[in-house]
Each structure stands twice: as C-alpha cells, then as structure tokens.
Amino acid sequence: MAELRYNPLLRDWTIVASNRQNRPHMPKDYCPFCPGSGKVPDDYVVYKYDNDFPALRADPPEPDPVATNLYKTAPAYGRCEVILYSPEHTKTLPDLSVDHIVQLVELWTERFAELSRDPKHKYIMIFENRGEEVGVTMPHPHGQIYAYSKMPLKIQTELAACKAHHDEHGSCLLCDMNREEKAFGQRVIIENDHFLCYLPFFTDYPYGVFIVSKRHMTALTDFTPEEKRSLAEILKQTTGAMDELFDRLFPYMMVLHQRPVNDVDAEAYYHFHIEFYPPLRAKDRIKYYASSEMGAWAATNPLCVEETAVQLREAHRKFMEKVGKTNE
C-alpha cells in the first residue's frame, strides 16, 4: 500500500507506505551498499541508488477506494533516492577527505537539478539520518533524497515566515540571522570564506546547529566551485566536532533547506541552509520530543545554547587538532 492521505486538521498530507515495513534492520552479514554485493558498482566514489523501499515513486499505484469529500487521497507520486557517501562501510562524513565530500556535493547538485525538471515535483529534500537513535536501518553511511509532489507543511511554514519578513523589512530573514549571529558571536561555532555554522538563538535541540551560506542563494545549483568546496570543509568540520563532543559517533538528522521547485518563486526571500537535529543532550541521554512538543509544537530546549556553543567550539578545536590543522 502506498498513497497520500490528507489531514484536514493541519491541511497537510500523510505518506502511507506499508512496503517500508519490509526493510532490513541493521544487517550484520550483508550490505547491499558495499562493492561486491551485486547491487552497486565495484569502483564507485559516491553513488545514487534508487531506494528499494520507496515511500514515493514515479509510478505509484492508485489509492485505496476509501476517500470521501472530507478524507481525500492522492497517489504517492515522487522519488526516493539513496546517496551512498563512500564504498567503505564505516566511513562517515568526518572521516572523508574534503575532496571526497566535494564529489558528494556535486552529486547532490546533479540530483537536485535532475529531479527539479519533473513539473510534478514541488520540493526536493536532501537529508541524512545518522545513528540508531534516529532510526537508521542500514549502517553503511548514506543520505537520501525525497522529491515531494505536495509541499511539506514545515517547509510551507518556513517559506511563509521568510516571505513575511521580506515583505515587512525588505531583507532576507536568513541574511539578517547571519548578521545577528555574527554580531553577537557567542553562538558561532565555525566560519569559513563562504559559510557560517552556528547554534541559532531559538534552536530547540541543545546541539542543533545551522550551516548557512554567507551569500544570498537558494539552492546548490547557485554555488560556485569555491562555495562547494567551502561547504565540504564545513560539513566535515561540523560533523567532526559533533563526534568529538562526547567521544562517540554522534547521531543526527541533517536536512538541506533549498528553494521549492516549480510553481513557487522564492529567490528573493529564501536562503540556502542546512539544519541539524541531533537527539543527544548528554553522552548517554536523549532529548525526546515528548507530549508538549508533539501535541502543541511547543518546543523546549533543556540546555542554554550559549553554553552548548562553548562545548561545540571546544570540540571543533579538538577535531582540528586531530586532523592536523589549527582553528585559525
């Protein structure tokens, strides 16, 4: 069963994908993403792999005949792709060279451009789930890309906020956030020529950093080669700092926020950024999204970000020492 069901309370769509119940869960004796499996090339660097258990597909079945005037259904149209980071089974982003991550950024860019060409696609989301704490079912390092035929509610909300700010102030909200964070300084973790990494003033995760482009641009396809390399550098350093924080593989959800595709022109008011949602609040403690967060969307951060930013900056310093570079 695969279909979309409309939620009239939130004016949003729920993806129903019962086929995903059949996914393997952290297999120990076989990996389809490793060379030699017969599923992937034997000599890849990074690789796009069509998801074996897609929630969205280019040839979706017709929805079950259960719709009414109130309860609407729609085909689960879209695409679900897996992006393999490396042929090596245990190498995650901090372990990869910057040159290697540049090739990953190039593949992300190619897939964003290609999936954008389908007029039925409305939003392309590139993301990574890392660690068993966030539900990873395959241990081989990888990310994913979903191409949605309906604009997700959170993205709608973020776009509306950015447009309202632009209409009221004549400026980009994320550009203004960059200026505020740079001026205050205490929440900035890493800065390079083209990107800032900081813990936003409002983040609801203790270590929920944003990576934001300094230049106003809305998607990977806007990047220069130099900006792609800078993004690779700050991705390696950010995830490396996270691993140093508690001296363990740091679980997170990472999402690239880019402009919508087809129908919505957000060039003036939207801004490329990456959001991290890491569930840890201590080495062995989870920050759960409990009843208040889920029932009312009343986010609660159990730690002060001005204090956790200090911890992340120190973790970044340690990571840079480990890889043989200074923090200058």
Q: Provide the mean pLDDT of the chain.
A: 94
* Torsion on CA atoms 319, 322, 327, 328, rounded to nearest 10: -160
235, two tokens: 């991705």
Report pTM.
Answer: 0.95
Q: Tell me the mean pLDDT in the region 58-76.
A: 96
Q: What is the pLDDT of residues 260-311, one digit of tens each?
A: 999 889 999 999 999 999 999 999 999 988 899 999 999 999 999 999 999 9
224 has pLDDT over 60: yes
271 is catalytic: no
Per DSSP, the chain holds a count of helices (H) and strands (E) of 6, 14
Task: Please give the DSSP secondary-structure letter assigned to residue 193.
Answer: S
> Which of these, 35, 79, 24, 88, lies nearest to 55 by C-alpha position?
79
* Longest pairwise C-alpha distance within the chain: 63
Task: Please give the pLDDT value at position 1.
Answer: 75
Q: Tell me the mean pLDDT in the region 244-264.
A: 96
258 has pLDDT over 50: yes
**CB neighbours of residue 300 within 10 Å:** 10
The active-site residue, picked from 121, 142, 165, 316, is 142
Q: Where exactly are the structural domains of the chain? A: 2-322
Do the Cβ atoms of 129 and 93 come closer than 8 Å?
A: no
H-helix or E-strand spanning residue 280: strand 280-282
Task: Please give the pLDDT value at position 328.
Answer: 43
Task: Please give the pLDDT value at position 327.
Answer: 47
25 has pLDDT over 70: no
Task: Please give the pLDDT value at position 27.
Answer: 73
* 240: three-class secondary structure by DSSP: helix
24 has pLDDT over 90: no
Q: Tell me the mean pLDDT in the region 185-197.
A: 98
Task: Please give the pLDDT value at position 18.
Answer: 83
Task: Please give the pLDDT value at position 278.
Answer: 96
Query: What is the band of 318 on the pLDDT scale with cuts at 50, 70, 90?
Result: very high
Task: Please give the pLDDT value at position 22.
Answer: 61
**CB neighbours of residue 299 within 10 Å:** 12
326 has pLDDT over 60: no
Q: What is the pLDDT of residues 117-142, one digit of tens each?
A: 999 999 999 999 999 899 888 889 99
Long-range CB contacts for residues 193-196, cutoff 8 Å, separation at least 24: 193/226, 193/230, 194/226, 194/227, 194/230, 194/231, 195/227, 195/230, 195/231, 195/234
- 2-322, which class in CATH? alpha beta
Task: Please give the pLDDT value at position 288.
Answer: 86
